[in-house]
Structure 1
């Protein structure tokens, strides 16, 4: 499989924030922004792998600036690092006041996707390589983030085993 540059996976989506997208504060629902992030990141992952993908994890999503009703939100994503069947995707969301042109980064996130075959089994993907200084910085720091994800996943498995599917605090209800 031939390696591909990060830029080949770039996906961009701009949306107008309308009243049904907002909460009682007149700002975009966090879950709506997260849906945009997952959607655009998945497109970037499929562009890289040219295979179906599933979301394996989403690192923390910190809301850095509000996205207000009437603003636009532009979500950009590209693959920064690959393993055998998985890939890390960097996402940046920028809000813009369409009347003034003022723009702010409202969030950044890393998501991990796994490429799957027709039977839903993980399948190999091409390697990715960085070209710009920003891509190189993200690519070089990716193994550390991957190790953090691995530890977090183990902790999540422990929590799942501890709490299971029952609600022990409500057994008498």
Structure 2
């Protein structure tokens, strides 16, 4: 499989903070899930996907108000009905690794929510599969 990397940048704003004044972990996980889902849709060519699995979550460093985070996504593999992504989050201000997720699994589903083959095996750079 050819190399695929997608970087999303997020700015930590006051509404993203927890009671300790640092980035709320749930907010970061929501950002990751949403952006990973967008990538999965573009790669599989369908809006009919569900998040099936997210690997162990281990926060390695804090992010503070005003920090810029880089969420770097890679495709680990294509399955018959699934796509597996990984995500590394780095603080662009401090250079610290904030979070690493080895596996984020999305499954292509039919109208009843049952897994369905998506027919993809190689990454695409654009969104053309959604228009096919």
Q: TM-score, normalized by length of structure 2?
A: 0.80
Higher normalized strand content (fraction of residues): 2
Is 1:121–2:117 an aligned residue pair? no
CA–CA distance in structure 1, aligned partners of residues 16 and 76 of structure 2: 30
Match of 1:147 in 2: none
Mapping of 1:116-155 within 5 angstroms? 116-125=109-118, 126-128=120-122
Q: How many residues align?
A: 120
Q: Which has the higher contact order (CA 8 A, sep 6+)?
A: 2
Structure 2: 5+ residue runs without aligned partners? 124-132
Which among 15, 21, 24 is matched to residue 26 of structure 1?
21
TM superposition shift of 1:118 = 4.3
TM superposition shift of 1:48 = 1.4
Which among 30, 38, 53 is matched to residue 35 of structure 1?
30
Moved more, 52-61 or 10-19: 10-19
CA–CA distance in structure 2, aligned partners of residues 54 and 41 of structure 1: 11
Give the number of the structure whose alpha-carbon radius of gyration is greater: 1
C-alpha RMSD over aligned residues: 1.9
CA–CA distance in structure 1, aligned partners of residues 82 and 25 of structure 2: 26
Match of 2:105 in 1: 112
Q: Is the Cα–Cα contact under 8 Å of residues 56 and 112 in structure 1 kept in the other structure?
A: yes
TM superposition shift of 1:114 = 0.1
Higher normalized helix content (fraction of residues): 1
CA–CA distance in structure 2, aligned partners of residues 6 and 28 of structure 1: 31
Q: TM-score, normalized by length of structure 1?
A: 0.63
Q: Deviations over 1:61-112 (max 9, x none)?
A: 1101111111011212132112210121101111122xxxx32221111211
Mapping of 1:81-100 within 5 angstroms? 81-97=77-93
Which among 73, 78, 88 is matched to residue 69 of structure 2?
73
Structure 1: 5+ residue runs without aligned partners? 130-173
